Every structure is written in structure tokens, then in C-alpha cells.
Structure 1
Amino acid sequence: MVRISSNYMVQRYQKDLNALDYTKTKLMEQGDGSKLHRPSDNSVDYSRYLRYDVNEGENNRYQESVKAGISWMASTQTALSGMEDIQKTFKAKTIQGANDDKDEKGGDWPAIAREMKAGIEQIISLGNTQLGDRYIFSGQADLRQPFAMSSEADLKQRGVSKTLDDRQSAFFSNASDKDSADFLHQMLSLNGDDGNTYYLNTLTGKVYTKEFVQEGYKDMIAKGYKTEAEANAAGETTFVGNVPAAIKGSTFIKDNFKNTGEVTTAGSGWSAAVNGTTVRFSTVRQQIVTYSGDMRYISMVKQNGSTEPSADTVNKTGMDIFGRDLFDDKNSGNDPSGTAMVNNMLTVYAKTKACDAHWLSSDGVTLADVANQVTLQAHTETGARSGLYTDMKDILTNHQENITRDITNVSGTDVAELATKMMQQQTIMSMSLSMGARILPLSLVDYLR
């Protein structure tokens, strides 16, 4: 009986001693600052910790995405700002050319043309801006250089459009619609075999004389007609004929012009009879800029929830910064060229080089102004988006602080409390060993000593 009691006491003592050692070991684990090392430590807190850890990972990814987006848009804004400055100078030079009444040799035409060309080349260079090894205006095809200009030794035949000013576009209201290019109201210029210039409304097929579009419509307004439709309804004659193939929904533009405005083989041979006059497309020999990127956007998501392409995209494509015109709008049937405005600027340059002050006055100034408006719109949108991302960066930073605090609260060790418990356990362990040495029965080894 004595032996059984003694053995039981020893086993019980060893069990308690092991429990003390286990508790001490668990406390020592918390020396790394975390009280959770396995689910069994505290299943409820560990579940919370895992949830907070997932939130932290997502938040870190969003922060990296926002940081990359801000960097991308900063580069975009810098490039667009440079383009705007050049376009403003380009417009000023266009106005200067339009007001220059001197002849080709005596005026400032050569100097104006050289400055225009240098500005266009700089715009193309800015359009090829890179962030690292990625071209910022190439869409998702950002490893390809987006813009390239043809050689001056290989000039192309590009169609000439008639760009309506505000008063003209109000009167010829059916010359454009919701599928036309933003900011532009255009007709197609035609040369007649009678030596006169005509303008074709590519949505209705109506052909007008140059004189009527430039000045004659004002007589209709003086009679009280606000639009061409009102004048026609009252029996007034405004057009001289029709081109039946050129109506909305047709492929007239696509069949005769590339999306850059360059005349196709079919367009080179096109002609039509209008009121006894044979008309052909007016063209200008100029360089052409082409776009090799795509029109897709890069999304850098900044928060949880459904994706918002209108709010999460950070890039601008060629179509965004250079718009569309008569040759590549939705009515044309052509895909967006991504170079509409810069090719229009090259048309202005070609007309300046040819000393065509009248065209610069009637069309060139408007085209130069619209080119700047399109780029300004892209710049404004990018600036607003950049501000949104900057605000989101602050929100995510605050969210990160909250997540860190939650993780600390649920898994962090209270150092002062841990130190106190460690001292308590060490004291209890020492006392247990001391008491055990006194009360445990002696073993054979003790007798042998």
C-alpha cells in the first residue's frame, strides 16, 4: 500500500511538473510578439486573424495597384500637357498664316511651316512616351510603339474635308449626328471639272457649292430660316445635286478612304455627275501618321466590389488623345485611326506650305482649335481620375492602419503581461522542484550515495 501511494504521488508530481513546463513553453512561444501560432491556441481569435490577414493582403494589392495607376497617369498628364502647349502654339501659327496677305516668297510662310512641322514631330514623340518599357498611349499593346509618321519623300493623297464653324453647323444641322466625331462638323470637299469646289454632306448625299456653304447660307438665315430643313420646307433651294451612294448607313467613306483619310485605289478613280458637272474628291499631298496600338484600356482596380471600367482605367489610347474625324467616325464605317487630329494638323501644315491663306482662315484655324480641345478633354479626364486615385490612396492607407490594429489586438502579445506570467511560472517551477526534492521518497540511488 505504501509503495502504491508513493508511486501515485510521484506520477502526480511529474504530471503537474510537465504541465508547468508546457505552460512555460507556451509563454516562451509568445516571445516573438504573437500569441497565435496554431488554431488550437485560440480558435475564435485565430479565425479573426485569418480574416484580417486576407483583408491585409487585398489592401496591399490595392495599394500597389493605386500606386502604379498614379504613376501611369502622372506620365500621361505630363505628355498631354506638353501636347497642349504645342497645339496652342500651332493654332497661333495657323492664325498667323491665315492673316498673312503676303505672297509665298515675301511672307513668313516657310518659317511658319517649319515651326508647325517641328511641333507635329514633337507631339508624335510625346505620343510615344514610355513608362519603363511600356508605351503609355498604346492601349494594352503597350510593348509596341504606337505612332509613326510616313516619310516626307513618300507623300500620300489625303481627302480634304470642309470643317464647319459654329454658325454653319447650326444651319447645316444634318451634316452631323450622334455618331459623328466629337467637336467636328464636316463635309467632304469635291473638285468639279468646271473649276469650282463643292461640298458633299456624307449623311444625306446633298452637294452644295462652296459659295453657298461659305456665305450663301447667311442669306437664308437673314430670311428667318434657322436651319437648312426649314429653308427647304419653305421651298428654298440650298443644294445643287445629290450623290445617292453617300448617305448615312452606307460604306461610301470606307470604300473610298482609309481611316487615316488616305484615298484608296477605288477613291482615286471615283467620280460622279452632279447637275451636269463631274466631281472628284479634293485631295492634298501630305505625310500620314499611323497608330499601331489598340483601343483597349488598362484597369488598375483600387477597391473591392464589381469592376468599374469607367472609373478603374488609367490609360488613354490614340483615339482619346487625337479623336476621330469624317474619315474614321462611326458613320464612316472605318475603325478608329487613333491619329485623326494629328493627321488634320499635317493637312494644316501642307496647306500652310502651299500658302493657302483662304483655307487656313475657313478651315485650318477650326481644325487646329479642335485638335487642342480633344487633347484637353483627355487631359482633364486623366487629371480627374488621378485625383480620385490619390484620394483612394489615402483611404487605403487609413484602412491599412485599421487592419494592422485589428491584427495586433487579436494576435499580438501584451509584453508586460507576458513578462509577469513568465516570472510567475518560473517561480512556481522553482518552488515545485524544491518541494519535490524534499517530499518525494528516496530512491535506491540516494541510498547508494
Structure 2
Amino acid sequence: MRVSNNMITYSFLTSLNKSLQRQNDIQEQLTDGKQLHRPSDDPVKTIRGMRAKVSLTENEQYNQNLGDAISWMDNTDGAMTSLNSLLTKFTELTISADGTKPAAAYVAIAAEMDELINQAIVVGNSKIGDRYLFSGQQDKTEPFVRNGDTVIYQGDNNKISMPIKPGLATPAQDSVNLTGKDVFGANNQLLQHMIDIKNQLITGAPDMDAVLNTGLTNLEADHNKLLEVHTQLGARMSTYQLAETMLENANVIITGDLAANEDLDIPKAIVDFKTSETVYKNALSVGARIMPVSLVDFLK
């Protein structure tokens, strides 16, 4: 095959442009420390990086949900601790009404009990931000309203879900709240039992069987239920705290993989740039000497 001057020139310029392009590519990488700037730089690494970024975004959302869930449950745990203390105090007052006291003493005990009932309702109306803890999904509505000796629950019995893993949210796995029914029982029976005992004592001549037998039995059952629900909350909190640690570890791993996939080896890139620069300059020098002589050179 006959080799023309144009072919030699084209071949040389093509190689020279490739060398210059390589130099420009390395310079672009050194500018921001990243290997990849477009899919064509490395399709396999680009796809791997996209997957890692999607996983990182998902994990960050789950971490946000975890933070919100743990904060909600921490506040609920504090409220439940307060309710347990109030119910313990109420039970002690009930036991103190042992049938040996004068009427005025029972009236005084009833007044103290009434204050504990009000405090229990205040705890039941606990909020985090502008959301009520025990209103179910009606969390912008104050759950408990007292009207004399009647307490009305205005929330619902639906769970609030904060997913911390892929898949559909389910109340059995992802709920973070306790409803008014969970805490005070159906029809606010815990509060109603407290009110019933208070009403017996406020007369000054209580039915001691209704106070010390029926009343204490109801309080014990209510307290056991409250402790059971509190224990379940504690177990769920532990699960979420463990999941938070696992997600944080996963984020560290994914971030490391993403950096390994995209970050530039700076020392190696500098060496490659210097090498590419030298090759380019040498090519220019050699090209000036080996380019074929043309008719124009003779005309000079």
C-alpha cells in the first residue's frame, strides 16, 4: 500500500491529539479530585457510583426517620414514666384510706387524688413540637379533655409509621406511637377507675369495699397494663437504636465505597500528568523533524 504524505500527517496529528486529550483529561481530574466526570470516562464505575449514591440517599432518609422515631419514643417513654409514678402515688393514697380516718381526712385525700388525675391528663396531652404523642394519627388534636368526672378521648387508635427499611410500612413493624387506648385503656378506664375512687372518698363516708377491694384491684390491673405497654415501648426503642447503629455503619461503608470508586489517586495522577506532558512535548519535537518534506519546502 502506498503511504502518502497526507496519511503520515493524519496519523501523526491523531496520535498527537490523543496525547493532548489524555493530558487535558488528567488536568480535569486534578481540578476536583474526581476520576469520573461523564459516563464515557468509565461506564462500569459510573453505574457502580450511581447505585452507591441511590443507596446512600435511601439510608439517609431512613436515618432521618430513625432520628424522628427515637425522639418520639424518648418523649413517650418520659411520659409513661411520669404516668407510672402518678399511678403509684394514687395507689398509695388509696391504701392510706384504710377506714380508720375521719371524714375530713378522706375529703383531703380525695382532693389530692383529683390533682393527680388532672396531672395524668396533662401527661396524656404531652406533645413533641406541635404534635400530641397519644392522639394516634390525629396528632394535631388534643387527645384528652376533662369535663367534670368525664374524660373524653378526641384522638384515634391508628398508628404512626416511620419506615426504617425498604418495603411497605406496616403498623406491626414500623409504628412509633402509643394511642390513648394503649395507655389508658378502652373508654379511658384507668382514669375512670381513679375518678371512681376519688368520688367515694370525697363524700367523707366512703364504701371501703369499693375503695380497698374493687378500687385497688382495678388500679393494680391498670398499672400492670401500663407497665406492659411501657415494656413493649422499651423493646421497640432498643430495636430502633440498634437499627440506627447499623444504618450509620452502612453509611460509612457506602461512603467509603463511593470514594474508592470516584476519588482520584492524586500522587499517581500528578505523575501521569507530568508523563503525559513530557510525551506531548517530545511528540511535538519529533514530529517537527520527521514530518515528510513537501513541495512547499522546496519552493522556499
TM-score (norm 1): 0.61
Please state if 1:408 is matched with 2:270: no
- Residue in structure 2 matched with residue 79 of structure 1 by the alignment: 79
3-state SS in 1 of match to 2:37: coil
3-state SS in 1 of match to 2:138: coil
| 1:377 aligned partner, one-letter code | E
- Residue in structure 2 matched with residue 239 of structure 1 by the alignment: none
Structure 2's unaligned 5+ residue stretches are none
3-state SS in 2 of match to 1:67: helix
* Closer/same/farther in 2, CA of residues 340 and 426 from structure 1, 3 Å limit: same
1:240-277 per-residue CA deviation (whole Å, 9 max, x = no partner) reads xxxxxxxxxxxxxxxxxxxxxxxxxxxxxxxxxxxxxx
Residue of structure 1 aligned with 2:123, choices 122, 126, 131: 126
CA distance in 2, matches of 1:343, 1:443: 113
Please state if 1:354 is matched with 2:203: yes
- Residue in structure 2 matched with residue 36 of structure 1 by the alignment: 36
1:156-193 per-residue CA deviation (whole Å, 9 max, x = no partner) reads xxxxxxxxxxxxxxxxxxxxxxxxxxxxxxxxxxxxxx
1:439 Cα offset (Å): 4.3
- Residue in structure 2 matched with residue 26 of structure 1 by the alignment: 25
Say whether the 8 Å CA contact 1:142–1:293 is kept in structure 2.
Answer: yes
1:433 Cα offset (Å): 2.5
1:356-402 per-residue CA deviation (whole Å, 9 max, x = no partner) reads 14120121112222232222222111111001100111111111122
Say whether the 8 Å CA contact 1:101–1:357 is kept in structure 2.
Answer: no
CA distance in 1, matches of 2:14, 2:92: 95
1:438 Cα offset (Å): 4.2
CA distance in 1, matches of 2:78, 2:253: 35
Q: Which has more helix, going by share of residues? A: 2
Please state if 1:367 is matched with 2:218: yes
Q: CA RMSD in A?
A: 2.3
- Residue in structure 1 matched with residue 235 of structure 2 by the alignment: 384
3-state SS in 2 of match to 1:290: strand
CA distance in 2, matches of 1:290, 1:443: 106
CA distance in 1, matches of 2:272, 2:249: 34
Structure 1's unaligned 5+ residue stretches are 153-286, 325-336
- Residue in structure 2 matched with residue 14 of structure 1 by the alignment: 13
Residue of structure 1 aligned with 2:275, choices 409, 424, 427: 424
Say whether the 8 Å CA contact 2:107–2:203 is kept in structure 1.
Answer: no
* Closer/same/farther in 2, CA of residues 381 and 437 from structure 1, 3 Å limit: same
3-state SS in 2 of match to 1:149: strand
CA distance in 2, matches of 1:321, 1:444: 100
Say whether the 8 Å CA contact 2:77–2:233 is kept in structure 1.
Answer: yes
Say whether the 8 Å CA contact 1:299–1:309 is kept in structure 2.
Answer: yes
- Aligned residue runs from structure 1 range 330-345, under 5 A: 337=187, 339-345=188-194
1:80 Cα offset (Å): 0.6
- Residue in structure 2 matched with residue 46 of structure 1 by the alignment: 46
Relative contact order higher in (CA < 8 Å, ≥ 6 apart): 2
1:18 Cα offset (Å): 1.4
Say whether the 8 Å CA contact 1:36–1:46 is kept in structure 2.
Answer: yes
- Aligned residue runs from structure 1 range 73-222, under 5 A: 73-97=73-97, 99-105=98-104, 108-150=105-147, 152=148
Q: Which has more strand, going by share of residues? A: 1
Say whether the 8 Å CA contact 2:162–2:169 is kept in structure 1.
Answer: no
- Residue in structure 2 matched with residue 68 of structure 1 by the alignment: 68
3-state SS in 1 of match to 2:35: coil
| 1:384 aligned partner, one-letter code | A
CA distance in 2, matches of 1:385, 1:397: 18
1:306 Cα offset (Å): 5.4
User: When the two structures are aligned, how many residues end up with a matched partner?
Assistant: 293
Answer with 7-16 or 22-31: which moved more. Answer: 7-16
- Residue in structure 1 matched with residue 182 of structure 2 by the alignment: 320
- Residue in structure 2 matched with residue 230 of structure 1 by the alignment: none
1:110 Cα offset (Å): 2.4
3-state SS in 1 of match to 2:17: helix
| 1:110 aligned partner, one-letter code | V
- Residue in structure 2 matched with residue 294 of structure 1 by the alignment: 156
3-state SS in 2 of match to 1:140: coil
1:64-101 per-residue CA deviation (whole Å, 9 max, x = no partner) reads 1111111100000001101110110000001112x032
Say whether the 8 Å CA contact 1:20–1:425 is kept in structure 2.
Answer: yes
| 1:122 aligned partner, one-letter code | Q
- Residue in structure 2 matched with residue 57 of structure 1 by the alignment: 57
CA distance in 1, matches of 2:192, 2:269: 74
1:102 Cα offset (Å): 2.8
| 2:27 aligned partner, one-letter code | M
- Residue in structure 2 matched with residue 203 of structure 1 by the alignment: none
